[in-house]
């Protein structure tokens, strides 16, 4: 058990200390003016944003219509599903979608790569702004949630879990169409470089 923890610690330190220029490190460069729980959530959102954006840009436009089965979301639909959630869920913490954003129809609105990538980027900007604007005092505010109760803190937790779930799905989709995630490519390039003396 101790050996496994030590290996995990070394891997995390190596990841956080890596010199991959394209990789976002919100733990090193946090969001200015935000601290506590919201800062922790924003750090995770920024990591997810970086990975989603880079993966969306790495997949070819022709593959945006690809889906693993007839009744399963396509690559474009998964990215747009995440974007729709990034617009829709913040209303639970006080920031509704901007005027003109059609959340209900967003998932099937386009398969055009440029439009999907722009929608995804804009949705992350909206989500981050909503978290920054949210007062810390509201974190423990209660609300109705799937037939029960939750807090606004719990909504933020759900947002990060939802994104992580669909990032994993998107990684599997990308690999199915022959795309290696860009951050894995970064790591492979870094490993191939001779050690610095």
Please write the tens of the pLDDT for every residue from 35-71.
Answer: 899 999 999 999 999 999 999 999 999 999 999 999 9
User: Which residue reads 């790495």 in tokens?
Assistant: 58
d(CA 58, CA 178): 10
Q: Is 78 exposed, middle or buried (0-12, 13-18, 19+ CB in 10 A)?
A: buried
Fold of 23-182: 1.20.120
Identify the sign of the CA torsion 181, 31, 82, 143.
positive
Write down the pLDDT at residue 22: 57
Task: Kindly report, residue by residue over 14-45, the tens digit of the pLDDT.
Answer: 444 444 445 778 888 888 878 899 999 999 99
DSSP structural state of residue 150: E
Write down the pLDDT at residue 8: 36
pLDDT reading at 132 higher than 70: yes
3-class DSSP assignment, residue 171: helix
Write down the pLDDT at residue 97: 97
- Which sequence spans correspond to the domains of the chain? 23-182
Q: Is 134 exposed, middle or buried (0-12, 13-18, 19+ CB in 10 A)?
A: buried
In sequence order, the 6+-apart residues with CB closer than 8 A to the CB of 177 are 59, 60, 63, 66, 75
Q: pTM for this one?
A: 0.85
The b/e string for 25-55 (b: 16+ C-beta within 10 A; e otherwise) is bbeeeebeebeeebbbbbbbbbbbbbbbbbb
pLDDT reading at 115 higher than 50: yes
Write down the pLDDT at residue 13: 37
């Amino acid at each position: 058990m101790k050996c496994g923890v030590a290996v995990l610690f070394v891997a995390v330190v190596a990841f956080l200390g890596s010199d991959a220029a394209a990789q976002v490190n919100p733990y090193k460069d946090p969001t200015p003016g935000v601290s506590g729980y919201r800062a922790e959530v924003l750090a995770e959102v920024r990591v997810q944003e970086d990975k989603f954006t880079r993966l969306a840009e790495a997949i070819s436009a022709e593959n945006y219509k690809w889906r693993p089965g007839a009744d399963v979301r396509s690559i474009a639909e998964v990215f747009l599903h995440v974007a729709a959630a990034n617009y829709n869920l913040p209303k639970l913490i006080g920031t509704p979608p901007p005027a003109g954003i059609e959340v209900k129809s967003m998932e099937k609105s386009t398969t055009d790569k440029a439009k999907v990538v722009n929608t995804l980027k804009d949705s992350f900007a909206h989500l981050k702004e909503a978290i920054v604007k949210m007062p810390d005092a509201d974190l423990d505010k209660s609300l109705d949630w799937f037939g029960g109760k939750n807090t606004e803190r719990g909504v933020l937790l759900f947002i990060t879990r939802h994104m992580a779930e669909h990032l994993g799905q998107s990684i599997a989709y990308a690999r199915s169409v022959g795309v290696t995630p860009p951050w894995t490519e970064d790591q492979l390039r870094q490993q191939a470089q001779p050690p610095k003396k």
